Structure 1
Amino acid sequence: MAVEVPSDFLCPISLQIMRDPVTISTGITYDRESIEKWLSSYKNRHVVVPSCPVTKLPLSELDLTPNHTLRRLIQGWCSLNAGDGVEPIPTPKGEVDRGQVVKLVKEAMRCGSSRLECLKRLKAIVVENERNKFYLQEVESMEFLTSVLNNNDESMIEEAIEILSNTNSPTTLLKHLLTQNPNLIQTLISIITITKSSISSAAAIAFLSSLYTISDQTHKTFTQDTLFIHLTRALSDQIATNPSLQILLHLAPHGRNRFKAVKHGAVFHLIQLLFGSSIPRECELAMATLDRLCECAEGRVELLRHGGGVAVVARKILRVSNLTNEKAVRILYNVCKNNVGNFRVFEEMVEVGAVGKLCAVIEVGGSLKIIERVKVILHLIQRAFDGSSKCVIVIPPRFD
């Protein structure tokens, strides 16, 4: 039996039944979760002033006012229709407002025994929902939290870094923090190196990744070996996998960084990750990072040294995304171009099915650059096997 939901009970954004109705500054009522996602999407696009989804008017403030009357009506309606399978809606927890967050930050800024307790309460608030994250995205609050990272108290450092990684600060605020504290990146690397907590390590890696996104070349060119050691360890332990990959991608364009990453086992762990992962974004980042590392001879040597390196690169072609196809073909192109005299490399390409995948790329079609690289690879394989009975390559009709 279909149960008709009163239109007033539906969220204007998603047309789902409201569970926690709140009213914004334009007077329109929304479900809290839906409007918070809307506001968060504006933040990700770095828009300073979000607008109301219905009226399109800019919001004078971001506070969400609970609509208790509508919530009680919805709860009453759910109770009346419980016999038709409608689930009851619980009363939401008490709300936190901006004033309470500011008060907590100011209390934590005062040196005293209560600072750690304040940080713990702030962490609990910031992970609760997107709205609370907005309350902490202020210069004074963020400057204070980054200053705690230089504290000698390990417990306070752990609380502060977890808050920072969860706040999702906009680019302008991150740039300000890095300008005010040029040693912030080095401080985070030190935390990653010494912390015994996997949660704090993951938080530090996540926050470091966001800083590398907006930092200049001086922060990336001369990077310590210790960071690469801990990033490869994070990949091995599956801790903060995507942020670790993003950091490696930011650092890899610099030659010495590529060498350090390879030296500390990044190629091996990237291959292992590609074998075990079916998550598209994770595979894209891993393949893009592997592509960067295979630009150097040491990276290509490690790829070939791994028994499944060429195989997993070939396997991911046409199975993840166009970006993954592009990076995988580029890896195989670099390997073949730099191993023309090594027959075993081309024999392995045939054995693991890379030739079939490359021919399929031509059949499916792609960018001109990808097709040209595939042609070069196939020509090199064909030349390597000229006069040999071991391999016959059937060239697809669109090859020439």
Structure 2
Amino acid sequence: MMKDPVTTITGITYERESIEQWLLKAKDCTCPITKQPLPRNSEFLTPNHTLRRLIQAWCSANEANGVDQIPTPKFPLTNAHVQKLVKDLEFPQRLHKTLEKLHDLAKENERNRRCMASAGVPEAMVHVITKCFKPGNKTTSCYCLEKALRILRLLWNTANMVDNNKMKRVLGENLDFLESLTWVLQLQTKNDVKVTIANEAMPVMKLAIEAIDSTPLGNLKLEFFKVIVSVMRNRELSQHAIKSSLHVLIEMCALGRNRTKIVESGAVVELVELVLEKPEKNVTELVFILLAHLCSCADGREQFVQHAAGIAVVSKRILRVSPTVDDRALHIFSLVSKFSASNEVVQEMLRVGAVSKLCMVLQADSADIYDENGG
């Protein structure tokens, strides 16, 4: 039963949510009934007030039979309304209330989020977050940051609504936004901001890293990586925030001297400690991918073999988690065996059962090959 009937330019009435999804996703934007062309812009949909009143009257007449009332739908959000709210962000006295309104609209439904994304709200949130990055009224900054981060994450994460090419142009080679997020995460290590803000900031950091031009990312300072590693260390943060920190470090490994800086920031020790806590499968996979990257450099391997649980924890996870973990674990052992195979390391591999586990892998692979050949 329709709750918000709207009529297209072809004269056919549909439920608003259904036809909007069709207009958004259909390869050929045509009317499902008449097959005539339709504009993708949902602003060309006209509310069918007569049909809606008839449906509501029928619901009222059948309320005794358990039929629920259908509320009168809200007027759809328009680009003009959103753009007015974006302009209000420029006035400090309206900032709090405007951010609240935008946040409520973003939470309400997907249509609002699409409208907000096309009206420039993500770019406006980047501006608000960057503006907060300066000494001043900490209460105001924290409030603005939390709202702006939540709005940006809602828009960026929902059905890829944010145009990464547009965000790339907005962020460009200017690292102000990245520095703002780093500042927020740095405050959480000093307990100067709520955990909820850091939980919002780290996923946004991951999305920003994917959108920012890679050239300046190869010249980030050691302090940046220390902050990201501190997020990985903080068990009060959400799993999503910790996963985002791992994604960021993996993304950065291939750029400039970042791999060495990540090692210097103490990431290897923290990764081993994280695996010892037996995290969920996808976290373990990310840890092993990153650990394999870091063990490809001498300092990373040295930290790994010097950790009392390093070789043991990698050995124990082989054949227990996933093929991805097996592949990265074998790569780690390959690097250690090729470049760091001291007597102490060999003895440790024997002591913790790493050699036995490698034999089990050989046996499993041999059985697979044997079966494939029809044995």
**Common fold by TM > 0.5:** yes
**Kept after mapping to 2: 8 A contact 1:192/1:205:** yes
Question: Residue 183 of structure 1 is aligned with which of 165, 176, 179?
Answer: 176
Residues in 2 aligned to 1:224 and 1:176: alpha-carbon distance in whole angstroms: 23
1:206 matches 2:231: no
Give the direction of change, closer, same or farther, for the CA distance of 1:96–1:139 in structure 2 (3 Å limit). closer
Q: CA deviation at 1:353?
A: 5.1
Distance 1:348 1:255 in 2: 37
Give the drift of 1:248.
Answer: 0.3
Question: Which residue of 2 is the match for residue 102 of structure 1?
Answer: 83
Contact 1:75/1:89, CA 8 A, preserved across alignment: yes
| SS of equivalent residue, structure 1 residue 295 | coil
**Structure 2: 5+ residue stretches without partners:** 157-161
Instruction: State the number of aligned residues.
Output: 340
The answer as to whether partners of 1:232 and 1:265 remain within 8 angstroms in 2 is: yes
**Distance in 2 between residues matched to 1:319 and 1:192, nearest whole Å:** 34
Q: In the alignment, which residue of structure 1 is the partner of 2:159?
A: none
Q: TM-score, normalised by structure 1?
A: 0.68
Counterpart residue number, 2:294: 293
Q: CA deviation at 1:160?
A: 1.9
Amino acid at match of 2:350: E
Structure with more relative contact order (C-alpha pairs < 8 Å, separation 6 or more)? 2
Instruction: State the 1:65 CA deviation.
Output: 7.9
More divergent stretch after superposition (52-61 vs 123-132) = 52-61
Opposite residue 327 of structure 2, the aligned amino acid is: E
Could you tell me the percent identity over the aligned residues? 22
Distance 1:301 1:352 in 2: 20
Show the counterpart of 2:365: 362
1:150 lines up with 2:151 in the alignment: no
- 1:279-315, Cα deviation, whole Å (9 max, x unpaired): 4433332221111111112222232333433333334
Distance 1:284 1:78 in 2: 55
Aligned to 1:269: 270
Aligned pair partner of 1:117 in 75, 80, 97: 97
In 2, Cα distance between equivalents of 1:200 and 1:52:
44
> What is the deviation of 1:91?
5.2
Q: Render the CA deviation track for 1:370-395: whole Å, top value 9, x for unaligned.
A: xxxxxxxxxxxxxxxxxxxxxxxxxx
Deviation of 1:193 after TM superposition, in Å, equals 2.2
Structure 1 residues 167 and 350: CA distance shift in structure 2, 3 A: same
Amino acid at match of 1:350: G
Cα shift readout 1:180-206 (whole Å, capped 9, x = no counterpart): 855332333233323613222232222
Query: Residue 302 of structure 1: SS of its match in structure 2?
Result: helix
> Displacement, 1:244?
0.9
Q: Is 1:193 matched up with 2:186?
A: yes
Cα distance in 1, alignment partners of residues 54 and 114 from structure 2 = 25
Partner of 1:350: 353
Point out the structure with the larger helix share: 2
Structure 1 distance, partners of 2:360, 2:75, is: 55
Conserved? CA contact 2:289–2:328, under 8 Å: yes
Please list every run of 5 or more consecutive structure 1 residues that lacks an aligned counterpart in the other structure.
1-8, 10-17, 367-397
Cα offsets for 1:103-128 (capped at 9, x unmatched): 3222223x241211111221222233
Match of residue 335 from structure 2: 334
Specify the alignment match of 2:225 in structure 1.
228
Counterpart Cα distance in 2 of 1:225 and 1:76: 66
Question: For 1:78 and 1:325, how far apart are their aligned partners in 2?
Answer: 61
Q: What is the distance in 2 between the residues matched to 1:216 and 1:58?
A: 37
2:152 to 148, 151, 164: 164
Q: Which moved more, 1:165-174 or 1:29-38?
A: 29-38
What whole-Å deviation, never above 9, does each CA across 1:72-112 have from its counterpart, x for those lacking one?
59978997886xxxx96985984651344333222223x24
1:246-276 CA distance string (max 9 Å, x none): 1101111246322322233322332333344
Please tell me the root mean square deviation across aligned C-alpha atoms, in Å: 4.2
Given that 2:315 and 2:354 are in contact with CA atoms closer than 8 Å, whether structure 1 keeps it comes out as no
- Whether the aligned pair in 2 keeps the contact of 1:291 and 1:328 (CA below 8 Å) is yes
Give the conservation status (yes or no) of the 8 Å contact 2:311–2:354.
no
Is 1:22–1:32's contact at 8 Å kept on the other side of the alignment?
no
1:241 matched to 2:242: yes
Secondary structure of residue in 2 paired with 1:97: coil
1:182 and 1:268, CA in 2 relative to 1: closer, same or farther beyond 3 A?
closer
